């Protein structure tokens, strides 16, 4: 057999795949992988059926269906008061992960450094490695999981090519403030560092906070690629449709890579999303209210448990501290929680290069209330 030298020798199967399979094998309630157990909006599904039946089943343009890009531009203007050129600054992608991968491949060269903040979503580091770059992991500061900007200042050097931001943050739910962005702008003012902003949970932010997208910060927007996700917003993660917004010179380079990773995204779904963006903008406007009810329900149900927590500031994830229950390593405890107790979660240590001493699990509350009630009943009985 031919020997194979792996390009990603330290990377195995993702924790999301492992835990979802474990939940399936043991008939456990799956609060691990981040997907809803309820349907996408009926009207949106009907529009998909319409476009399938109408014969809109051939290739879409590489950058995305013009109708969808136009609606994205309207949404960005309405939500963030920023005008974007939908021909040269918007590209529809095969989910947020493809957008992140294509951006990293487009701009990171061998030997260059990319700063990420741990706990970091697990697709960042492998993409940097495949580009020949070096990932610099900076820890967020618990318990609020805020950015230590002094450490960022110290980490920036002539090799720094990119900083990856994620707000609302997966897995912690933390959000960046307007002050954070002003500090970042000051740090980068005399550099050529590019920003890659993972904002797939942009509409899921709680307690009257405002999402601080880089699109609203004029100085940072000029050096930023901002990634969003229709899957997260419309409860249809399996469709894998997202988009990237960037200034035209950055977008031109992004598209050079994108066209060879995923030439185009499924046409009838793009057209259906365009229709629904136009007819039901209230969906994304009110999404934070929908998910705040879910968060509050889950936190209320978990209040009698031996887990401790601070309600999530954003995303549809809730961190829970299990230190009063056991001293087990989180990966081991999560496995036992799934196989013996019957509820699957995600251990937080897997998102770190060097895990700190903490006992945290991530639970997904994008579930029907009945699912949350059954899970909480089991967890409160521990």
Q: What residue ranges of the chain have pLDDT lower than 70?
A: none
Between strands 242-245 and 224-229, the pairing is: antiparallel
Q: State residue 126's pLDDT score.
A: 96
Any idea where the domains of the chain sit in the sequence? 15-40+283-380, 60-280
Length in residues, the chain:
382
Q: State residue 13's pLDDT score.
A: 82
Could you tell me if 330 and 347 are in contact, meaning their C-beta atoms sit under 8 angstroms apart? yes
Class of domain 15-40+283-380 as given by CATH: alpha beta
Please give the Cα distance from 322 to 131 (Å, whole number). 37
Task: Please name the residues in contact with 53: beta carbons below 8 A apart, sequence gap of 6 or more.
Answer: none
pLDDT (tens digit, 9 = 90+) per residue, 152-177?
Answer: 999 999 999 999 999 999 999 999 99
Please give the Cα distance from 172 to 70 (Å, whole number). 33
Q: State residue 11's pLDDT score.
A: 83
Q: Does domain 60-280 have CATH number 3.40.640.10?
A: yes
20 is written with which tokens? 């979802």
Longest CA span, the chain: 59
Q: State residue 10's pLDDT score.
A: 84
Nearest to 104 by CA among 121, 82, 84, 86: 121
Could you tell me if 128 and 112 are in contact, meaning their C-beta atoms sit under 8 angstroms apart? no
């Amino acid at each position: 057999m031919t020997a194979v030298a792996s390009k990603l020798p330290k990377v195995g199967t993702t924790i999301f795949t492992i835990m979802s399979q474990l939940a399936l094998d043991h008939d456990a309630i799956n609060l691990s992988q981040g997907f809803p157990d309820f349907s996408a909006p009926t009207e949106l599904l009907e529009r998909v059926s319409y476009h399938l039946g109408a014969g809109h089943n051939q290739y879409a343009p590489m950058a995305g269906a013009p109708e969808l890009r136009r609606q994205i531009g309207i949404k960005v203007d309405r939500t963030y008061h920023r005008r974007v050129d939908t021909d040269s600054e918007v590209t529809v992608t095969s989910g947020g992960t493809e957008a992140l991968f294509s951006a990293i491949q487009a701009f990171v060269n061998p030997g260059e450094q990319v700063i990420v903040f741990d706990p970091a979503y697990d697709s960042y580091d492998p993409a940097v490695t495949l580009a020949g770059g070096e990932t610099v992991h900076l820890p967020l500061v618990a318990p609020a999981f805020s950015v230590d900007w002094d450490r960022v200042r110290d980490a920036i050097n002539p090799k720094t090519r990119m900083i990856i931001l994620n707000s609302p943050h997966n897995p912690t739910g933390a959000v960046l403030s307007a002050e954070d962005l002003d500090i970042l702008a000051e740090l980068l003012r005399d550099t050529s560092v590019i920003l890659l902003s993972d904002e797939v949970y942009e509409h899921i932010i709680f307690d009257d906070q405002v999402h601080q997208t880089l699109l609203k910060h004029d100085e940072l927007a000029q050096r930023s690629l901002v990634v969003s996700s229709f899957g997260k917003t419309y409860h249809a993660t399996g469709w894998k449709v997202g988009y990237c917004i960037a200034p035209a010179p950055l977008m031109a380079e992004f598209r050079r890579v994108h066209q060879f990773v995923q030439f185009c995204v499924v046409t009838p779904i793009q057209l259906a999303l365009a229709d629904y963006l136009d007819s039901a903008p209230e969906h994304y406007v009110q999404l934070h209210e929908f998910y705040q009810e879910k968060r509050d329900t889950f936190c209320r149900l978990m209040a009698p448990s031996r887990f401790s927590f601070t309600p999530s500031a954003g995303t549809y994830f809730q961190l829970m501290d299990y230190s009063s229950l056991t001293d087990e390593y989180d990966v081991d405890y999560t496995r036992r929680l799934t196989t013996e107790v019957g509820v699957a979660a995600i251990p937080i240590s897997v998102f770190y290069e060097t895990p700190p001493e903490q006992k945290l699990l991530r639970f997904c509350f994008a579930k029907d209330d009945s699912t949350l009630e059954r899970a909480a009943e089991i967890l409160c009985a521990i």
